[in-house]
Structure 1
């Protein structure tokens, strides 16, 4: 009888740990994205204007493509 209780407690602890870990990771990522939002075309346009450049759509598209290419490289190595 005590063996079944021990097995049940282990299974419940594992499920609880997985659920708790999921919610902690979710909260961490939500806070991270709130503090460091991903860059978009509007942000690039503002950065270029602040640097004294006239932001054309072609330049913005090139910069976005380059940034996406750089972000995808480390993911492919894994």
Structure 2
């Protein structure tokens, strides 16, 4: 009877550890991406130039603001 209790506790602890690890990793990645966005001003400028557009600073700022607003909603 004691062995089943030990196995049950091990399984519960394992599931709890996996769930806790998932939420901690998710929170870490959200803060990391907020501090270090995947697309910065220089990358956006290069992408616009490759598409044949001549990027103005105003347009780049608008696109960055829209992208950051989208990140905040998530």
1:21 aligns with 2:13: no
The alignment yields a C-alpha RMSD, in angstroms, of 2.3
Structure 1: tracts of 5 or more residues without a match: 49-55, 61-78
**Correspondence for 2:49:** 57
Q: Which has the higher contact order (CA 8 A, sep 6+)?
A: 2
Structure 1 runs of 4+ aligned residues shifted over 4 Å read none
> CA offsets per residue over residues 2-38 of structure 1, 9 Å max, x none?
1100000000000000110010000000000000001
Deviation string 1:38-58 (CA, Å, 9 cap, x unpaired) is 115xx122xx8xxxxxxx723
| TM-score, length-scaled by structure 1 | 0.54
2:15 and 2:25 map into 1 onto residues whose CA distance is: 15
How many corresponding residue pairs? 49
Unaligned runs of 5+ in 2: 53-74
